[in-house]
Chain A
Amino acid sequence: MKNSKIDNLINDIMSLDPELKKYENEIKKIANHLIKAKPNLKIDSNFKLELKNTIMKKISNIKNNEKEKNAFNWGIFSKKLAFSLGAIALVIAIIIPLKNNLNKDNDNRNIASKNEQFIRVEDEAFGKIAFNESAQNTNNGEINSSDLAERTTVLGMGAGGDVSVSSDTRILPYPYEPVNYEFEYIGEDFELNGEKVDVYKKIKKSVEVKNIKDAIFNNNLSLFKLNNFKDKSDISNISIKQDKKYGYIININPQEGDISLYANWETWPQPFKDCQDDACYQRNSLSINDVPEDNKIIEVADKFISDNNINLDNYGEPVIVNNFREMYETSEDKSNVYIPDQISVVYPLILNDVEVIDNGGQKTGLFISVDIREMKVYSINNLSINNFEVSAYKAINDKNTILNYLKQGGLYPNYTNPDASKTITVKIGSPEKTLVRLYKYDNSKGRSDEYYAPALSFPIVETSSENNYYRDYIVIPLAEDMIEKQLDIMPMPILEMAR
């Protein structure tokens, strides 16, 4: 809050009670001290990204639902009837002998394909691939500067945790000691090869569920002649709920060929179920001593994979995502560090022998979370069929261009805070060649497309001990189009670009 605002605030008070005028200085100091006492609370950047992803998925669902409504011309039926139809379809999907049908599929082919399929298409076949452009811009690559807000809405969409620049700017310490960052490359010399790089686009491949569809449509419903709607209908989602101890909820998206699995929490032990006070929460919370060794957690994930025929041909060695350990190690008051009940294991996706990272530089692929109280798999995400189209794009082959992008903060440029009291130098080490997964929202389809592009991942090797930089890596895609467009845009125009 600036002084002028404090003055306004004081003026308001004085106008309501003129007697307070004689205490003006005292009240100003109280207001100042209250403002200074505002804790410098930081939101967890991972949480923020996950929630954004959840919201974007929900938005995608909303749009899909609206499209489905339009496609079925629900206007001729009552809303109540439409809901009934949905409910009936879901019930049928669950009660029909689904298991047999799925097993039949599995006999012929694992859900995750044994081998990746790559289909070579012509150069730049995916149009402009700056991942923050809307689909309408893909034909001419022009950015309509008058519609900044609309374009920036597509930043960071999709299921993979893309970071929007506007989110990043808010991770700057607030409101005390705002700082700016500058980046200094201290790594070794590196090489850039070739005029073009291959960009991969994931193909949404359907899983065949014809038997299920037939079973649903051929069922004799006394309420509704469902079969009338069979023409050009597809099953977009199947949800299966296991009602037994340690049961799961399995969601199958046959159109996009992916499956997710979560614990049906109602059937799992709930350690905090009867807690009425915080002491109970504390008593039942896990401590660092309760966390098993990494290999024990990985064993649980491996066994689940083996028991359920999940094919790992396209995935690398599993690693534990143990951010909480870092937090624990660096925390002064270790008793207050939250130890999660579930810990994730990631099996990194490997395409053409190159490991895939997310846009924050972290390994990404098949995620399996293990409940360490029960030592059972709690959830699985990103289990899907890996088929891709491959198209060549113009590469950045000038090292200085890369270093220039690096100074700006890479894929997600940093912005200067005009009120910053100091500038922190972040030192960057030698890069690794990798593939970065990015999402681009396609407005016309109402969904995100998934791309994998060659990139350099630069590790943050040194920063001030007082001001830890919130990123571990700076990622720069090597497809020229991807990063050029990204840096053209000022997604959070409240602050200025750094340099």
Chain B
Amino acid sequence: MVIDDRNLIEKFKKGNKESFSLLYDKYVDKIFKFIYFKTSHRETAEDLCSQTFIKALEKLDNFSFNNNAYFSAWLYTIARNTVIDYYRRSNKSKNDLNIDDVWDISDNTDILEDLEFKQKTEIIAKYIKKLNSEQREIIMLKIFEDLSYREISEILDKNEGACKMSFCRAIKTLRKEMPLLSFISLFLIKL
């Protein structure tokens, strides 16, 4: 049985506020990981993850399934904006911060005990940084988060076709930039 977001949200709106706890259970790991990829700092990711869910709880009454909107996309959008706000606050001097470049801002300097995470993100970062910020984010949402193009389009506020095209271009770039053998050998060494 798959937990039905719509059913839970309708219950929430009718007064069964505890329904939110099931949504929390369903999404907390994903949202935490999504934020961690963007901050590479466990404590910060936990703080921003908390903010994300508190905001979602406070605003859930306003969420609407109009146009078959996805709750997951709405939640990722809150998380993404929370990360962007965090970087804006903590980099006051960087007023010209490109909000899509949060991936670049973090340099994985406070990865905790997770050596594997560090190794893997270093490899990924090396190649993914050859992509533009939108392509990077789409790769992350599509490959790591396993979201549909529809969900990605809602998160990034782009149309679905543009997201598909962007993903396609990203893969083409990766194919050109990474000689496959060296790509494979890198992973064989690390994994």
Question: Smallest distance from the beta carbon of A203 to chain B beta carbons, Å?
Answer: 23
- Please tell me if A331 contacts chain B, counting CB pairs below 8 Å: yes
- Residues 12-31 of A at the B interface (beta carbon under 8 Å): 12-13, 16-17, 20, 23, 26-27, 29-31
Chain B residues with CB under 8 Å of A40's CB are 116-117
Known: A54-B50, A149-B4, A493-B1. Contact between A276 and B93, CB under 8 A?
A: yes
A44 touches B46 (CB 8 A): yes
Question: Smallest distance from the beta carbon of A256 to chain B beta carbons, Å?
Answer: 19
A27 touches B171 (CB 8 A): yes
Known: A26-B180, A149-B3. Contact between A332 and B21, CB under 8 A?
A: no
When C-beta atoms are compared, the residue in chain B nearest to A5 turns out to be: B146
Question: Smallest distance from the beta carbon of B151 to chain A beta carbons, Å?
Answer: 14
- Please tell me if A99 contacts chain B, counting CB pairs below 8 Å: no
- Residues 109-158 of B at the A interface (beta carbon under 8 Å): 109-117, 120-121, 123-124, 139, 142-144, 146, 149
B146 touches A1 (CB 8 A): yes
Partner pick for A278 among B3, B20, B107, CB 8 A cutoff: B107
A36 touches B171 (CB 8 A): no
Chain B positions 173 through 191: 1 when the CB is less than 8 Å from some CB of chain A, otherwise 0: 0110010100110010001
Chain A residues with CB under 8 Å of B97's CB are none
Chain A positions 451 through 475: 1 when the CB is less than 8 Å from some CB of chain B, otherwise 0: 0000000000000000000000000
Interface centre among A167, A279, A441 (most CB of B within 10 A): A167
Known: A13-B167, A51-B49. Contact between A41 and B17, CB under 8 A?
A: no
A157 touches B143 (CB 8 A): no
Q: How far is the CA of A16 from the CA of B169 in the complex (A)?
A: 10
Chain A residues with CB under 8 Å of B90's CB are 275-276
A164 touches B25 (CB 8 A): yes
Known: A54-B50, A55-B53, A336-B112. Contact between A17 and B172, CB under 8 A?
A: yes
A-B contact list, 7 entries, CB within 8 Å:
A29-B184, A30-B171, A55-B20, A59-B17, A63-B17, A153-B21, A278-B110
Q: How far is the CA of A19 from the CA of B47 in the complex (A)?
A: 45
- Please tell me if B13 contacts chain A, counting CB pairs below 8 Å: no
A30 touches B175 (CB 8 A): yes
Partner pick for B112 among A20, A51, A337, CB 8 A cutoff: A337
Q: How far is the CA of A55 from the CA of B110 in the complex (A)?
A: 27
Chain B residues with CB under 8 Å of A56's CB are 18, 21
A36 touches B180 (CB 8 A): no
Q: How far is the CA of A152 from the CA of B171 in the complex (A)?
A: 42
Q: How far is the CA of A55 from the CA of B149 in the complex (A)?
A: 30
- Please tell me if A186 contacts chain B, counting CB pairs below 8 Å: no
Chain B residues with CB under 8 Å of A27's CB are 171, 175
Chain B positions 16 through 44: 1 when the CB is less than 8 Å from some CB of chain A, otherwise 0: 11111110111011001100100001110
A16 touches B18 (CB 8 A): no
- Please tell me if A229 contacts chain B, counting CB pairs below 8 Å: no
Chain A residues with CB under 8 Å of B20's CB are 55, 59, 153
Q: How far is the CA of A31 from the CA of B172 in the complex (A)?
A: 11
B17 touches A167 (CB 8 A): no
A55 touches B24 (CB 8 A): yes
- Please tell me if A282 contacts chain B, counting CB pairs below 8 Å: yes
- Please tell me if A265 contacts chain B, counting CB pairs below 8 Å: no
Question: Smallest distance from the beta carbon of A454 to chain B beta carbons, Å?
Answer: 27
Chain B residues with CB under 8 Å of A154's CB are 18, 21
A52 touches B24 (CB 8 A): yes
B28 touches A157 (CB 8 A): no
Chain A residues with CB under 8 Å of B175's CB are 23, 26-27, 30
- Please tell me if B91 contacts chain A, counting CB pairs below 8 Å: yes
Chain B residues with CB under 8 Å of A281's CB are 110
- Please tell me if A166 contacts chain B, counting CB pairs below 8 Å: yes
A54 touches B54 (CB 8 A): yes
Partner pick for A30 among B2, B49, B183, CB 8 A cutoff: B183
Q: How far is the CA of A467 from the CA of B112 in the complex (A)?
A: 18
B112 touches A150 (CB 8 A): no
- Please tell me if B168 contacts chain A, counting CB pairs below 8 Å: yes
A166 touches B117 (CB 8 A): no
Interface centre among B2, B91, B110 (most CB of A within 10 A): B110
A9 touches B142 (CB 8 A): yes
Chain A residues with CB under 8 Å of B2's CB are 494
Chain B residues with CB under 8 Å of A202's CB are none
Q: How far is the CA of A52 from the CA of B32 in the complex (A)?
A: 13
Question: Smallest distance from the beta carbon of B165 to chain A beta carbons, Å?
Answer: 6
- Please tell me if B7 contacts chain A, counting CB pairs below 8 Å: yes
- Please tell me if A155 contacts chain B, counting CB pairs below 8 Å: yes
- Please tell me if A96 contacts chain B, counting CB pairs below 8 Å: no
Question: Smallest distance from the beta carbon of A436 to chain B beta carbons, Å?
Answer: 21
Question: Smallest distance from the beta carbon of B23 to chain A beta carbons, Å?
Answer: 9
A1 touches B171 (CB 8 A): no
Chain A residues with CB under 8 Å of B32's CB are 43, 48
- Please tell me if A102 contacts chain B, counting CB pairs below 8 Å: no
Chain B residues with CB under 8 Å of A51's CB are 24, 28, 46, 49-50, 53
- Please tell me if A47 contacts chain B, counting CB pairs below 8 Å: yes
Chain B residues with CB under 8 Å of A62's CB are 17, 57
- Please tell me if A37 contacts chain B, counting CB pairs below 8 Å: yes
Chain A positions 32 through 45: 1 when the CB is less than 8 Å from some CB of chain B, otherwise 0: 01111111111110
- Please tell me if B88 contacts chain A, counting CB pairs below 8 Å: no
A55 touches B57 (CB 8 A): yes
Question: Smallest distance from the beta carbon of A491 to chain B beta carbons, Å?
Answer: 8
Chain B residues with CB under 8 Å of A188's CB are none
Q: How far is the CA of A52 from the CA of B20 in the complex (A)?
A: 10
Q: How far is the CA of A35 from the CA of B144 in the complex (A)?
A: 7
Chain B residues with CB under 8 Å of A44's CB are 42, 46
B22 touches A58 (CB 8 A): no
Question: Smallest distance from the beta carbon of B83 to chain A beta carbons, Å?
Answer: 16
Question: Smallest distance from the beta carbon of B161 to chain A beta carbons, Å?
Answer: 9
Question: Smallest distance from the beta carbon of B11 to chain A beta carbons, Å?
Answer: 6
Known: A170-B25, A493-B1. Contact between A41 and B180, CB under 8 A?
A: no
